[in-house]
Structure formats: C-alpha cells, structure tokens
Amino acid sequence: MRRALVTGGNRGIGLAIAQGLADRGFEVVIGARSAKAGQDAAEQVGASAVELDVANPESIARAVQAIGAVDVLVNNAGILGTGGLLDDPQDFAASMAVMVHGPYLLMHHLTPHMVAQGYGRVVNVSSGWGAFSDGVNGPASYGVAKAALNALTVASARTLPANVKVNAMCPGWVRTRMGGGGANRSPEQGADTAIWLGNLEDTGPTGKFFKDRKEIYW
C-alpha cells in the first residue's frame, strides 16, 4: 500500500485530496498545525495525522521522524497574505516559509527514500496567480511564493530521477476558507488534478504544470 503525506490536509482542498487518495487505497497521513484539527480530519477520511507546521523547520523534522517514509508528498499548505507586496517583510517571509521553504525541506527529507526505492510522486499545489504567463498577479506575496514553488518544481524534477515525479498544479478558484464562498469550484473539483498526479502512472510526466489534468504554461 502506498503512503501519502498531505500538508494542510485538515480542511479545504487538502482534505479533499486526502479523501481522494484514501478512496484510492492510499495510506494517508494528514499534516496539520493543530494536532486536534488533524486528528478530526483524519477520522473523517480514514487516515492518520501528524502535527506539522510547514513554516517551522523543527516541526518538519519532528513530523518526518514520526511518520517515516512516504511514497507520495502533496505540498498543499498555503497562506494568503494581505496588503501590498513590498509593504510587510514579515508577510513576505511567512509566505515564502509556508509555500517554498517548507515544501523544499519536506522534499529534502522525503525524496531520498523515493529515489532509493525507485518510485515517488511529489505534487506541489500551486496557482495560476504564480504563473509568469498570467503576470504573477496573486495578492501580496502569494503570487511570488507560488512562482518560486513552480521554479522549485522544475528544478527538482530535473535533479531527481524520472521515476520520482515532481509536478505542480493549479486547483482554480475553490470554495474554501481562503477562496471564499463565491468561488466557482468545489474542493473536490480543485483536488482532482492533485489526486491524479499523486497516483500518476510510470510513463507520466515530470516537471510540468497542470490544471484539470491538462498542461498549462508557467
């Protein structure tokens, strides 16, 4: 049975990804900043949970030690900053910590096992707001962080062997706490491409950017 870690998996898109992977027979571990929220979500989808703050390297190290090896890593956790890009250095640092440095450290810790066993899938939940083709037009530091996550996707896919696949995806505008109630997509719709990439066949792509299972421009 494949094991998958989904960060920020206690609600929204992350919870839908966790549910989708569990429904497909994966042993799923939900990473959440709140141990209680993670456990409540895990019970809901038939998974387990680990306390994990992706902005904190020590929390990442503890979580990795607690859960051991995984076959699939879904870097889903994200934050939406406020204000202008150059207004608040702390906001910028937080965005980069959650959406770039945290995913990098999780990949650093977890991909060696994937390489050793000759199989792995890394899914970086990104956004069209981080695409240069769309003007990197996300609010505050969000777009810049997602653009950096896209760059991490490309560079790490080039670094890792082809049987450890690293891809990014855009879920679209989703009805979550971040997206708001007026969004035009359900969490399940937003999660579909991430679930597909997490269960990608051996001949599937790596180092690409997808929405609705179709490749899109960086």
Catalytic residue ranges: 142
- Residues 16 and 19: their CA atoms lie apart, in Å, by 5
Q: How far is the CA of 74 from the CAs of 33, 82, 132, 165, 195, in angstroms?
A: 15, 25, 23, 12, 9
Q: Where are the alpha helices (DSSP H) in 24-172?
A: 35-45, 57-67, 89-96, 102-117, 142-159
- Residue with tokens 């995984």, as numbered in its chain: 70
Pick the closest to residue 73 from 64, 84, 82 (CA basis): 64
The answer for 47, left when phi > 0, alpha when psi is -120 to 50, beta otherwise, is beta
Question: What separation in angstroms does the CA of 17 have from each of 7, 27, 97, 188?
Answer: 10, 12, 22, 8
CB of 100 closer than 8 Å to CB of 148? yes
Region of 172 (left: φ > 0; alpha: ψ -120 to 50; beta: rest) is left
